[in-house]
Structure 1
């Protein structure tokens, strides 16, 4: 199966053509330079305007990938101190924010799961449970993808599940339109559920961590269970709805289509795995302990000696344990479940991207830009809260079709702050809505790496993705607004 180049997958984003990159490079410079030449509007701190010029440059470069996104995220480190907006230590501090180490620890755990092969075993056994009729095949892959992407990178989940889906579909149906329909429904189901499942936990996708950090900064700290209450509701609505759209509307699959053969392929994959290895078992134990600690962190932190327990501490402890616990390799008894050769291949660039986004956000906050924008948005206070949320979610969803989910939410952070200040809206409603919406780009192959992987198989056609994705975008907008609007007030009480 043809796959996008690895460097386009690390941020769960998109790849831009060489011409688009060159245009974006000079366009970003032109926009930032023009803004600087025009000067700050009346009533705005000149330093805030300079920070906004830098943000405009970074947004254009992030969207166009004029240079690597992590390299763009380094600009606040040098530009903000040079312009006198922040001191060097103030510009650098966000790059060491605890949420970045939560991300690093989570990705190390995910790397160990993938290296051990545990992720493949989980997926195949889920498929054995759901059956092998065409609709069940699609549903099984969607369910397995959703469960995995709650804990593992959306991109890694899609890369792991898509080849298995293609193999099962090829075995289940003879050459012809039925096979293509089944393959298209399967790979799109995998791609969409990789994004949907990612919203289920705070570590499911990098945007969740960015959103969680913004919520904390605005006085709303969501615990692991609270986050899962909202994300789980979104998953509970969107996954069945997506399955129905793919199997009953977009692709009308027959009730029976070589299902015995398909089940035989899945069973053969399960037999080939053999019994669970020591390494898989030990990784599974650590993973479960970390997951349970995240879920029950609040009561655990009340125990003696654990008052400083945070999600970041749990993640890093789990990652360190992977280097300490032996893998059970008889030829190399001292080898741990995770080694640094594997750990250093996690997307470190995302950590830098986090830092850059947090640094520019800190500059905009400290220079008073958020307050200024908030004053310009006081008119939003007259609108119903649900309408404000719908407008915000809709804008974020369709923006994420053109930019990576991380870049989309990072660019939205100052707007969110201004909306809270200007409309007096609930930070939970506004922040959580935008965070979930940034992951819901279903229309275009460039929207997410998972979409690109599905499109690269050749099974779904561009017009099919546009049609199905547009409808699912609308469904996602309504679902997010509903889940956050109904569950948000309950978990705060």
Structure 2
């Protein structure tokens, strides 16, 4: 089958799935353990069909991924899912603006020369071994996500990694080293973000639901005690997986350490522009970090500090209109706009709840290990398709109710769900770092999907091991005593 024929086949397949669900006869409502019914409306059926269309088009890249997002906005009013106003307003959702702000920060880092300075310094420390270079990138990425949003970390790391890739010496062509580095950055950004309450909005949201349904609170320290080890073992496993399935073409980049030292010295002393960028970014990140501790700052949307920094970059002429027009990856911004739109469509139409409740109902009466792994698998799957906060909001309340009847420790359900919500390894729309990594042009959506399946299986196995080893050792058994 020719390339064009394949493209038209997948375009047609996407439309067929949309029409199939749109014209399906009414399906039975989902019923939760409390007897509450969740009907699947006509809009909900169409939303599922549209999601499948978007998934096929995104994975096989039949049209630019940003254009698929435009199709999501267009088809919602055409198929009666939501009005045009509702569908399109998600394209400017604060989360999308947060991503734009993160990209502006990364662009300012690159233009000021900070990224080269960091890249050269790291290479002068880790040396010539390509495996150690990859490990260095992953460790820095994961560590930064403990204190700041993983989207901002990915945007900061991206230009640093592009500088490292340039020193690899293969030009712009895709390489196994490039694939491993950028895919690994996306994965470890997610893995690292589960380690602290500040790693992502899903973490405090999950703790809030847990407190509401159990009456128990979870401290900042307790949260990290349970998930920090899980996060770092995940980072190491991701590194081992990628250096195995994507073994770099070169075991060493000969002379890179000396070259990095030379290039670093050529940069000279830190410039005023670099200092200005660092101060502005540090200020923005400080606000994001302090939001967890200062109630007065919680009312400020997390996109605002980064966008304020972005505005100041333009006011101080660190960035120009040419940078805005030529250097911002609008295809990626549109991708996330569409992801937000389809996520809200699934949520607001009730389709996501219908799917989740039907799935969780299958686990009633199951052994505790099957129940917890089933919940974890559902969260992991959903977080590839919709916002991880939405995935937690849909699954965790129902799971905690069932856990009570099965005698399963609700803490186990909490930590298993949160850990999986940070691991959207399969689809680009699962998390902003995935989309940012894709901008490197080192891998296709199909490759990301393929390696993501392997990564997801590995993380689920790790979860199973933690449930029987580390967590019981620190006093979190699987069943309520």
Aligned residue number for residue 385 of structure 2: 409
1:190 — aligned with what? 181
Q: Which moves more between the two structures, 107-116 or 240-249? A: 240-249
Question: Pairwise CA RMSD of aligned residues?
Answer: 5.1
Pairs within 5 Å for 1:172-211: 190-199=181-190
Residues 311-460 of structure 1 aligned to structure 2 (within 5 Å):
311-324=302-315, 326=316, 336-344=317-325, 345-377=327-359, 378-383=361-366, 387-388=370-371, 390-391=373-374, 408-410=384-386, 419-420=395-396, 423=399, 424=401, 429=415, 432-439=418-425, 449=438, 453=442
The aligned residue for residue 37 of structure 1 is 23
8 A contact 1:287–1:318 mirrored in 2: yes
Aligned equivalent of 2:264, options 267, 270, 275? 270
- Partners of 1:72 and 1:349 lie apart in 2 by 10
Superposition deviation, residue 191 in structure 1: 3.8
Q: How far does residue 300 in structure 1 lie from its aligned partner after superposition?
A: 4.0
CA contact (8 A) 1:100 1:354 kept: yes
Shift of 1:339: 1.9
Q: 1:71 aligned to 53, 67, 74, which one?
A: 67
Deviation at 1:227, TM superposition (A): 9.6
Q: What does residue 160 of structure 1 align with?
A: 163
Paired residues of 1:380 and 1:388 also in contact (CA < 8 A): yes
In structure 2, distance between residues paired with 1:376 and 1:431: 18
Give structure 2 stretches of 5+ with no counterpart: 30-39, 213-217, 403-409, 428-433, 477-481
1:21 deviates by 2.6
Following superposition, the deviation at residue 27 of structure 1 comes to 0.5
Q: State the alpha-carbon separation in 2 of the partners of residues 83 and 470 from structure 1.
A: 32
> 8 Å contact 2:130–2:248 — kept in the other structure?
no
- Mapped partners of 1:258, 1:35: distance in 2: 52
In the alignment, structure 1 residue 288 sits paired with structure 2 residue 282: yes
> Offset of 1:121 from its aligned partner?
0.8
1:11 aligns with: none
Residue 309 (structure 1) aligns with: 300
User: SS state of the match for residue 386, structure 2?
Assistant: helix
Counterpart-to-counterpart distance in 1, 2:222 and 2:89: 28
Secondary structure in structure 2 of the residue aligned to 1:309: coil
8 Å Cα contact 1:39/1:49 also seen in 2? no
Supply the distance in 2 between the matched residues of 1:389 and 1:432 (Cα, whole angstroms): 12
| Structure 2 contact 192–235 (Cα < 8 Å) conserved | no
User: Does 1:477 find its partner at 2:460?
Assistant: yes
2:89 aligned partner = 93
Look up the SS of the partner of 2:119 in the other structure. helix
Structure 1: runs of 5 or more not aligned: 1-15, 168-182, 327-335, 400-404, 456-461
Q: Tell me, yes or no, if the aligned pair for 2:353 and 2:394 is still in contact at 8 Å.
A: yes
User: Could you report, residue by residue, the CA deviation over 1:186-237 in whole angstroms, capped at 9, with x for unpaired residues?
Assistant: 656634541233226769xxxx979689969979999999999888645522
Give deviations 1:254-275, integer Å, cap 9, x for gaps.
xx9898x453222222222222
Deviation at residue 281 of structure 1 after TM alignment? 1.9
Please give the secondary structure, in 1, of the residue aligned with 2:442.
helix
* Residue pair 2:123, 2:256 contacting (<8 A) in 1 also: no
- Taking structure 1 as the reference length, the TM-score comes to 0.66
Cα distance change, pair 243–79 in 1 and its aligned pair in 2 (3 A): closer
CA distance in 1, matches of 2:464, 2:319: 40
TM-score by length of 2: 0.67
Other structure's SS at 1:382 match: coil
